[in-house]
Amino acid sequence: MAEPTALPSPVMIIGVSGFLGRHLAAYLAGRGVEIVGTTRFSDRDELPEGVSRLNTWNGREESELAPLLKGIPAVVNFAGAPLKTRPWTPAFRRRLRDSRIRSAAALMSALSSRRKSVRVLQGSAVGVYGNTKNRWVDEDSPSGRGFLADLVVDWETAAWEMRPRQVSLALLRTGVVLSEEGGFLKRLHSIQRLGINPLPGGGRQWVSWIHLEDYLAAVAFLLIDTEITGPVNLCAPFPQRFAALTAMTSRGKIKRLPLHIPARPVRFALGAAAEPLLEGQRARSKRLRDAGFRFAHPKLTAGIQF
């Protein structure tokens, strides 16, 4: 059977109001794709850019989602409570887990009655590998240890084990997406404006990153190539140490003093929330490379534009 060469349409983006959802909607719409957005809370007077129709779904009940999926050949699921740099209470940890695992399982259940094939890209994270230190990892590497690694394993399992036969499923193990419009860089630059460059744990941990432009192109690539299933690392070929990444993505010419923050007080103050700051992944994408995807920004350089 010949592989498709065009993007499917319409595409449903669950979690379209988030940082990645908003940018993906605009990117795909610019390529002629009709976008159906789904959010937990929606203002129907203000559609996100590129979205032709906006639905509301609580992220739990498959019976509410199933009617919205009629005629949809592809779904990108970004549902999940955002990670926050603050102490993760037991209640917040439950929210992180439930919002991801229940939504992934509900989506698969809602698709179980479909007869035609459906392409699903399910959000995930490179945090599944735990703290890899200097060890390289790819999609064939085992999962790691820790709260986040366990969370991602259960998140992926909920989608993978419940997927219907007609669903072609790829798990988007996303690294740190770099863009000045949101996410990591926006938070970093708000601190750097104070004249400091924060280095939790000394800044030696690896960061698997991906430029927003490459992230959007990779998602479009995976929407087209439905033969790629299972985990896919969405990260550039060359990770960077935290200290180097923050220095090279610093805006302007103001000198920023490195602020070394020992790991112990970070863990004491934040508990499990310290994992994303102190533990890194030296990951690369074997699946994208083998499929022929080419990164526009494979390396992080001082002059790179975001």
Region 216-233: mean pLDDT is: 98
234: exposed, middle or buried (C-beta count within 10 Å: 0-12, 13-18, 19+)?
buried
Beta-bridge mates of residue 39? 56
Confidence of residue 1 (pLDDT cuts 50, 70, 90): very low
Cα 297 from Cα 306, distance rounded (Å) = 11
Per-domain residue ranges of the chain = 11-179+208-236+281-291
Q: In what order do the strands lie in the sheet with 51-56?
A: 51-56, 35-39, 11-14, 74-77, 118-125, 167-174, 230-234
Segment among 47-51, 140-144, 186-190, 238-242 with least mean pLDDT: 186-190
In the DSSP assignment, the letter for residue 172 is: E
Residue showing tokens 């990770």:
239
Token pair in block for residue 291: 């499929």
Identity of the amino acid at 200: P
Cα 156 from Cα 160, distance rounded (Å) = 6
Cα 306 from Cα 300, distance rounded (Å) = 11
| Superfamily of segment(s) 11-179+208-236+281-291 | NAD(P)-binding Rossmann-like Domain (3.40.50.720)
Region 152-181: mean pLDDT is: 95
Evaluate whether 81 touches 99 at the Cβ level (below 8 Å). Answer: yes
Dihedral (CA of 162, 167, 168, 174) sign: negative
Q: What is the pTM of this model?
A: 0.92
Identity of the amino acid at 305: Q
Question: How many percent of the chain have pLDDT more than 90?
Answer: 67
Quick: pLDDT tens for 106-138: 999 999 988 899 999 999 999 999 999 999 999
How much is the pLDDT for 42? 61
CB atoms closer than 10 angstroms to residue 167:
20
Token pair in block for residue 12: 């449903």
Q: Which has the closest alpha carbon to 172: 137, 213, 222?
A: 222
Region 242-271: mean pLDDT is: 78
